[in-house]
Amino acid sequence: LCNKWLFLLHAHLYFWSGMSLSNQCANDTKYFQDWNDLRPIPGVDGAYPIIGNALLFSTNAGDFFNQIIEGTKEFRHLPLLKVWVGPLPLVVLFHAETVEVITTLSKHIDKAYFYRFMQPWLGTGLLTSTGDKWRGRRKMLTPTFHFSILAEFLEVMNEQAEVLTQKLEKQAGGDPFNCFSYITLCALDIICETAMGKNIYAQSNSESEYVRSVYKMSDIIGRRQRAPWYWPDFIYSLLWEGKDHDNRLRILHSFTQSVIKERAESMENAGSDSESDHGIKRRRLAFLDMLLKATDEEGNYLSHSDIQEEVDTFMFEGHDTTAASMNWALHLLGSYPEVQTKVQEELQVVFGSSNRSVTVDDLKRLRYLECVIKETLRLFPAVPMFARTVSDDCHINGFKIPKGVNALIIPFALHRDPRYFPDPEEFRPERFLIENSTGRHPYAYIPFSAGPRNCIGQRFAMMEEKVVLSSVLRHFSVRACQSREELRPLGDLILRPEKGIWITLEKRQC
CATH number, residue 469: 1.10.630.10
How many Å apart are CA 71 and CA 64, to the nearest integer?
Answer: 11
Surface-to-core class of residue 365, CB atoms within 10 Å of its CB (0-12 exposed, 13-18 middle, 19+ buried): middle
Please say whether the beta carbons of 96 and 439 come within 8 A. no
How many Å apart are CA 13 and CA 89, to the nearest integer?
Answer: 17
Q: What pLDDT is stored for residue 27 in this prediction?
A: 62
Total tally of structural domains belonging to the chain: 1
Report, in this order, helix, strand and coil percent for the chain, each rounded to 5: 60, 10, 30
CA-wise closest residue to 458 among 118, 128, 145:
145
Q: What pLDDT is stored for residue 14 in this prediction?
A: 45
CA-wise closest residue to 323 among 382, 380, 369:
382
How many Å apart are CA 468 and CA 462, to the nearest integer?
Answer: 10
Please say whether the beta carbons of 161 and 186 come within 8 A. yes
Strands 88-93 and 177-178: unpaired
CA-wise closest residue to 492 among 241, 128, 218:
218
Q: What pLDDT is stored for residue 269 in this prediction?
A: 76
Cα Rg of the chain (Å, integer): 24
First-to-last alpha carbon distance for the chain, in angstroms, is 59
CA atoms within 13 A on the CB side of 222: 24
CA-wise closest residue to 260 among 290, 301, 292, 282:
292
Q: What pLDDT is stored for residue 26 in this prediction?
A: 53
Q: What pLDDT is stored for residue 271 in this prediction?
A: 61
Q: Is 455 marked as a binding-site residue?
A: yes
With a cut of 70, list the residues of the chain below it in pLDDT.
1-28, 270-282, 296-297, 510
Residues 408-436: b if buried by 16+ CB within 10 A, e if exposed:
bbbbbbbbbbeebbeebeebbbebbeeee
As a whole-number percent, the residues of the chain with pLDDT over 70 amount to: 91
Length of the chain: 510
Q: What pLDDT is stored for residue 92 in this prediction?
A: 94
pTM (two decimals) = 0.91
CA-wise closest residue to 326 among 286, 246, 380:
380
The DSSP 8-state label assigned to residue 435 in this structure reads: H
Instruction: Give, for 53, the enclosing helix (H) or strand (E).
Output: none
CA-wise closest residue to 59 among 232, 227, 230:
227
How many Å apart are CA 16 and CA 24, to the nearest integer?
Answer: 6
Contacts of 119 (CB under 8 A, 6+ apart): 128
SS3 43: strand
CA-wise closest residue to 490 among 94, 95, 68, 113:
68
Q: What pLDDT is stored for residue 155 in this prediction?
A: 94
Residue 429 structural domain? 2-507
